[in-house]
Structure 1
Amino acid sequence: MAKVLYSVTMSVDGFITGPDGDMQWMRPYLGPNPEVEELIPRIGSLLIGRRSHDGDDPHKGQAGEGEAFGGGWDGPMFVVTHRPPASPEPGVTYVDEFAKALAMAKDAAGDKYVNVIGANIAKQCIEAGELDEVLLCFAPVLLGDGTRLFDHPGGHTLALNRLSLTEHPLASNLWFAVDKDG
């Protein structure tokens, strides 16, 4: 059965995008990351928020622009949106209901991961009790503003159990299992 994973590159101060959704800040940190490279073939589908799907691309102007993981992954993508495009993108399924999109992504993933892209979609997975794991790739930079990894006005505690800590020249990775009992 598919597991739901939120994997993301994050600044040390907790932002996954810079101001106005800027993702160009990531470029210096997109180098080799063996843990991410080992993860990619274990991803069966992507569950993506519309803003993330349509947003800035850290690979802009480079090979892999507009492709998942800079062209390193190919497979079924499910975009949660109430505004499907007039001309759908090939290989992308636009779904207007989160629960339906998640079920479709899990089915498509089989026994691999559903990789979540987008803070709002990750938040919905958390609120639905459907998030299984979190992989944070910490880039050694402070942004000061942007989209937070997780933002829940009034607070919401989610206990995590560390599975691994891996150091790489361009990032430090922390992999967690969501403590669904805690």
Structure 2
Amino acid sequence: MAKLLYSVTMSLDGFIAGPGGDMSWLTPHLGPNPLVDDLITRVGSILAGNRTFRGDDPYKGTEHEGEAFGGGWSGPQFVLTHHAPAEPVPGVTFAGDLDTAVKQAKAAAGEKYVNVLGADIARQCLAAGVLDEILVLIAPVLLGDGVRLFSHPGGTDIRLERLHMSEAPQAANLWYRVLR
């Protein structure tokens, strides 16, 4: 059965996007990473939040703009939103609730990962108890402001078990299992 994996690149000070969701900070930190190259082959579907789907793209202005993993992956994508576009988007299914979106993404992924994209949807998956793993690539940069990796006003304690730790030229890789 498919597992839900939140994979994300984060600045050393804990931000996954700059102010206003700006992703241009990430562009110079995209580069060879054997762990990511391997992960791409193990992703069966993508589950994204609406802001991530409609948001800024670190590949903006390149031939891979709008493509998952910079064009390295293609497959079914599921977007959690209450405002689906009037016109269909090829390869993208819009769902109005988390349970439906997760079920559809898992069914499409088969035995592979559902790659979760977006801080808010990852937070929702954690709260619902459906997020299985977290992969954080730590980029050597301090942003100072923006969208945090995880934010839960009032605090929360989510225990994690480290599965893997490695380095790549552009990042330190930390992979965790969410303990329930």
TM-score range, shorter chain: over 0.9
Show CA shifts across 1:113-150 (max 9, x none): 00000001000110011111000000000111111011
Give 3-state SS (helix, strand or coil) of 1:141's partner. coil
Q: Secondary structure at the match of 2:35?
A: helix
**Which amino acid letter does the alignment assign opposite residue 148 of structure 2?**
R
- Post-superposition Cα deviations, 1:13-41, rounded to whole Å, max 9, x if no partner, equal 11000000000000111011110000001
Letter matched to residue 164 of structure 2? S
**Residue in 2 that maps onto 1:178:** 178
Name the count of aligned residue pairs. Answer: 180
Letter in 1 for 2:2: A
Provide the rounded CA distance (Å) in 1 between the counterparts of 2:169 and 2:52. Answer: 27
Q: Give the match for residue 150 of structure 2.
A: 150
2:116 corresponds to: 116
Which segments of structure 1 move beyond 4 Å, counting only runs of 4 or more? none
Q: How does 1:73-92 map to 2 (within 5 A)?
A: 73-92=73-92
What is the root-mean-square deviation of aligned Cα atoms in Å? 0.6
Distance in structure 1 (CA, Å) of the matches to 2:169 and 2:42: 23
- Determine the C-alpha separation between the residues in 1 that align with 2:116 and 2:179: 18
Query: 1:63 Cα shift?
Result: 2.2
Q: CA deviation at 1:88?
A: 2.0
State the alpha-carbon separation in 1 of the partners of residues 100 and 84 from structure 2: 15
Residues 69-120 of structure 1: CA distance to partner in whole angstroms, max 9, x if unpaired?
A: 1111000100000000111211100111111000100111110000000001
In 2, Cα distance between equivalents of 1:7 and 1:146: 18
TM-score computed with the length of structure 2 as normaliser = 0.99
Identity %: 62
Equivalences for 1:51-62 in 2 at 5 Å? 51-62=51-62
How is 1:9-158 mapped onto 2 (pairs within 5 angstroms)? 9-158=9-158
Q: Does 1:163 align with 2:163?
A: yes
The aligned counterpart of 1:6 is: 6
Cα separation, 2, equivalents of 1:36 and 1:63: 20
Distance 1:88 1:145 in 2: 34
Q: Which runs of 5+ in 2 are unaligned?
A: none
Gaps of 5+ in 1: none
Q: TM-score, normalised by structure 1?
A: 0.98
